[in-house]
Amino acid sequence: MKIREAIRTKILRSYLRWLGVCGLVFLGLLLLPKDFSRIVWIPTAILVISVAYAYFMSKVRCQTCEYQFPPAVMSSIRRNAKKSRINYCPHCGADLDQEVGANNSFKPNLLRGGSGR
């Protein structure tokens, strides 16, 4: 398995867990009494959902340097088009198309993605 595929799997897993939290929050809202205060609970639900999203996405890290990928980088890693996707970790420069745990170096890709700094 390539590092990119491992990261993709991680993103998918985090996303599914987050969806699970969303489901629980909505279920919780449904179970509240009918006269519940929407002004309090709806923003609370939104807050819980966004905190959960940030938490689960913070689990998606570079396998080599533990760098936490910003959302823009994550979507670039997931992209299938070779032209626009990121091929190296923007932090440590690890080749994302290398096999997980492999030490042999593949031929370097010419395109270098990155968000600047």
Q: Is 67 in the site for Zn ion (CB under 5 A)?
A: yes
- Contact region with Zn ion (CB under 5 A), list: 17-25, 55-63, 75-83, 100-108: 55-63
Output the six-digit token pair for 60: 């998606």
**Binding residue for Zn ion, selected from 22, 53, 64, 114, defined by CB under 5 A:** 64
Please say which residue, 1 or 92, places its beta carbon nearer to Zn ion: 92
Q: Is 100 in the site for Zn ion (CB under 5 A)?
A: no
- Contact region with Zn ion (CB under 5 A), list: 49-57, 59-67, 77-85, 105-113: 59-67
Q: Is 53 in the site for Zn ion (CB under 5 A)?
A: no
Q: Is 86 in the site for Zn ion (CB under 5 A)?
A: no
Those residues whose C-beta lies under 8 Å from the C-beta of residue 26, and which sit 6 or more positions away, are 45
Unique residue bearing structure tokens 């959960």:
52
Q: What residue spans of the chain are helical by DSSP H?
A: 3-31, 38-57, 71-78
Query: In whole angstroms, how far apart are CA 106 and each of 2, 17, 90, 96?
Result: 12, 34, 18, 11
**Binding residue for Zn ion, selected from 89, 95, 96, 98, defined by CB under 5 A:** 89
Residue 47: name the closest of 29, 61, 60, 65 by CA: 29
Instruction: Tell me which residues touch Zn ion (CB under 5 A).
Output: 62, 64-65, 67, 89, 91-92, 94
